Chains A and B, each alone.
Chain A
Amino acid sequence: MSDINARCVVTGLGMINAIGKNVEECWENALKGTPGIDKTRSVNSDDCYAHLGAEVKDSDIEMNDKVDRVSMLCLQASKEALNDAGISNANVDAARFGVIMGSCVGGVVSIENYIEKGEKTEDINKMTIASIANHVANMAGAKGVVTNIGNACAASTMSVAYACELIRAGVGDVFIAGGADAFASVPFAGFTALHALSENPCSPFNHSNGITLGEGAGAIIVESYEHAIKRGAKIYCDVLSAGISSDAHHITAPRPDGIGQMYAIRRALDKSGVDKKDLDYINAHGTGTAKNDEAEFLSIHTIFDDANDHLSVSSTKAMVGHCLGAAGAIEAVYAIRALTDNKVPPTIGYTDEDLEALKEKAGKIDFMPNAMKEKEMNYVMSNSFAFGGSNASIIFAKNEGKMSETENNEDIYITGMGIVSPIGNGIENYIEKVKNGETIASNNLSSELGKEDFDKYDIKLAFYRKLDKLSTMQVVSGIEAINNAGFTFNDENAEDFGMIIGTGDGPLTTVYEFQDHISKEGTQNGSAFNFPNTVYNAAGGYLSIKTGMRGYNVTITNGSQSGLSSICYAANEIRQDRTKAMLASGTDENSAVMNKLYTQLGFVKDAKSDIYGNGNSMNLSDGSVTIALESASQAASHSAKKYAKVAGYAQTHEGVEYGTVAGSDEGLANAIKEACADAGITVDKIDAVFGFGNGVNEVDTLEKNVYSKVFGKEIAVINVKDYVGEARAAAATLSAAHAALTLAGELGDSQDAYFIAGGNVRKDKVDTKNFEYIIATSYGVGGSYSAVVLQK
């Protein structure tokens, strides 16, 4: 049952960072002000101007050569949190148990190993962020919503927020939420190139002359209050509301006026029902760069100066460094312990002289220099701000809060779309190609964007030359969807429009090339120009900068199905009234790098492959597809065209070894059944499936078997990969877009389809005239599935 103001509580904590291998050690050392910063041991900084890092001691990590270091860290913190919460298979329904993890650089250590240590196949599946939540879900036996958030340094604050949103949406009881990042050459070289590393230990709100990178993981068991009470769990605190926003300003720097940050902080306060006079402590983003600290000083002073006489603010980054995608989760754990122990951790590194300077900057706010203090607390906040202009703020409360979230129970419609694909760009072009029955010609396909596209959407050279291909495709498909839907926003209502970007492999090409360059030229020679594009949310960040969209902005990544789960996530944001209208995208890039990696994995062969044809190779491809979603009244307010109604959706996980799908049949079957149930229909109402088979036998066979079993009769399956190839997340979103065009009658009266029954396939035309319901499905390796039911 959905209950927008349902209590979400924290019942378990896990953490590892430079000052401890578990929560207790990390907490005690933070209170004592123990610095975890030393000369880096894992990155060659010999020719760099800065050499410091806050690395986890190898002796503190449970080593596991099957996974990247980032997953080792994440697994360790997650196990601690599960044990702390007393969660086991016996006291949680696996289908209502999920994992949401955040990361910035993911398995980038494995990219370095691959390049420098003989290009081993086993390193390939460790490279992306996607694998992290899969490993944790498999360890924990979670079969609910499993995904990762890729919003750089705000990622794991968002993962905790999303877990609560899912509990309040009624789709889960328990989530492991948090995030991880490992110390690595790519971020070290990137921040070196940007001159953003401090030569001395970082000094947030003090010297503010740069960051010190760290590493670690934080894991939080978020649980519905009823579930926690029923199983007699110990409760740390309540999680109230979060504010998430986008600066729409710059890809690396925060807005100097703090508008985006302040929106996130104020929204968290408002919807949590917390008066700003009552907030007791903020674990600040506090990176120690001049730009961050100035903007955050401004935001905090502007909101709290005249209203709050007892606010404490500290940055635990002074001890544990900037743990990037893990920062939000680590700092949330610190904020929760501060709240429950009534002790505020300090910001270390102030000299007597610094203390004098601080007095002038601090006003009534206690910035906690050098020493912890004890004080009774009821409400604490954790802030995270990231590359791409991504802001997140979340509130934890000692007791039950007075949440004031509202719901929007109207129907949700697809009112616009944008398509970038190897068969051309734009909706009109796509409709024409499909009607003409044009199918793809090769096994290596790539979307093309040029001056014509940029001129059409008024994208200037000074803007587009900054973007890698992933971001360029995203910006173009996003703007087309905005125009097609007729979204209009301005400075007054820009926060009411948001986006969820789904990507399977993210900017893997850019990250690989960045690593390849520094492997050859040295850590001191990273490219300042390319580094901003190594974060997964750069694409969504650029789209917000270009369009001025300042609302909810999250990038999710867990395989191809990210392009459908972005629709599930976006629709949930509208249902939970966080935004008036949303974009949901799927974007993935093909390149020489991607082709090389997929070929080495054995998925790309010389010849063009056949879908459902018992072959064993895919036609690797790319693209970006964005759909616009809005509620009925919002659509009516500007007379938007309704392509189709989003009637229901579901996300599931049936864990198998990462990189494979065989054995995860139940995951797909459950996604279909749950999405139909969410739409209020039985599966026999489904007129056709938009499937995901790609020519790889393991994938195609699973799909054929599941449809045969679930539908129990011959079912028509249309597959967009016949037109655009294995464009991964882009193909997943295109399935929904193509299905919506079909229901809107834009594609004529019949289409090519596969008819599947009893595990067998025949090809024929399907009459689409009387279609009422279509279900779009997609998969992620490791066993994650999404399904979306669209209605005429």
Chain B
Amino acid sequence: MNEKELAIAARIKEMLSENLRIPAEELDYEIPLFGDGIGLDSVDSLEIIACIDSEYGVAMTGVAKENFYNITSLTKYVVENM
């Protein structure tokens, strides 16, 4: 990741930790957020969408699931759609 991407990934991690009560130490940029990883669900994804919209103005409603796979994929989507 470049500097800009690193900054976005760090901010997304912070939001996940603050808004979804995931301990920061459980989160790295590669760990799968849904399913067997952190175990997020559809309500959590609404929160992620709301956070990314308000922070970066990027709308992710209805966006394909793979973009939510981990912090890296979320970062990539944000960078490409800012």
Which residue numbers of A lie inside 8 Å of B, CB to CB? 193-195, 252, 460-463, 465-466, 525, 527-529, 532
Contacts and interface: CB of A to CB of B under 8 A. Distances in A.
Given A525-B50, A525-B54, A462 B43 contact: no
Given A525-B50, A529-B47, A461 B19 contact: no
Contacts of A529: 19-21, 43-44, 46-47
B22 to A, nearest CB: 6
B46 A193 contact: yes
A252 B43 contact: yes
A660 to B, nearest CB: 38
B38 A462 contact: yes
B57 interface: no
B54 A194 contact: no
Contacts of B20: 465, 529
Interface string B32-64: 000000111001101100100010000000000
11 contacts: A193-B46, A252-B43, A461-B22, A461-B38, A466-B21, A525-B50, A527-B19, A527-B47, A528-B50, A529-B19, A529-B21
B39 A461 contact: yes
Given A195-B46, A528-B46, 5 more contacts: A193-B50, A525-B54, A529-B19, A529-B43, A532-B43
Given A461-B38, A461-B39, A462-B39, A528 B22 contact: no
Nearest to B36: A462
Contact of A465 (B22, B46, B50): B22
Contacts of A525: 50, 54
Nearest to A196: B46
A528 B43 contact: yes
B26 interface: yes
B58 to A, nearest CB: 16
A525 B47 CA distance: 10
A193 B26 CA distance: 26
A661 to B, nearest CB: 37
Given A461-B23, A465-B20, A465-B21, A528 B38 contact: no
Contacts of A465: 20-23
Contacts of A527: 19, 47, 50
A252 B47 CA distance: 15
A700 B67 CA distance: 60
Contact of B46 (A194, A460, A463): A194
Nearest to A460: B39
Nearest to A251: B43
A507 to B, nearest CB: 15
Contacts of A532: 43
Contacts of B38: 461-462
A465 B25 CA distance: 14
Contacts of B22: 461, 465
B48 to A, nearest CB: 9
Nearest to B39: A462
A701 B38 CA distance: 53
A525 B51 CA distance: 9
A528 B47 contact: yes
Contacts of B44: 528-529
A209 to B, nearest CB: 14
Nearest to A49: B61
Contacts of A461: 22-23, 26, 38-39
A449 to B, nearest CB: 13
A527 B46 CA distance: 9
B38 to A, nearest CB: 7
Contacts of A460: 39
Contacts of B21: 465-466, 529
A225 to B, nearest CB: 46
Closest 5 CB pairs of A and B: A462-B39, A528-B46, A465-B21, A529-B47, A528-B47
Nearest to A250: B41
Residue with the highest number of chain A CB atoms closer than 10 Å, among B23, B40, B43: B43
B61 to A, nearest CB: 8
A610 B42 CA distance: 49
Nearest to A528: B46
A112 to B, nearest CB: 21
Contacts of B54: 525
Contacts of A466: 21
Nearest to A463: B39
Nearest to B61: A195
A450 to B, nearest CB: 11
A463 B19 CA distance: 15
B63 to A, nearest CB: 14
A611 B11 CA distance: 49
Contacts of A462: 38-40
A419 to B, nearest CB: 24
Contacts of B47: 193, 527-529
A581 B50 CA distance: 43
Contacts of A194: 43, 46
A388 to B, nearest CB: 14
A460 B31 CA distance: 16
A185 to B, nearest CB: 17
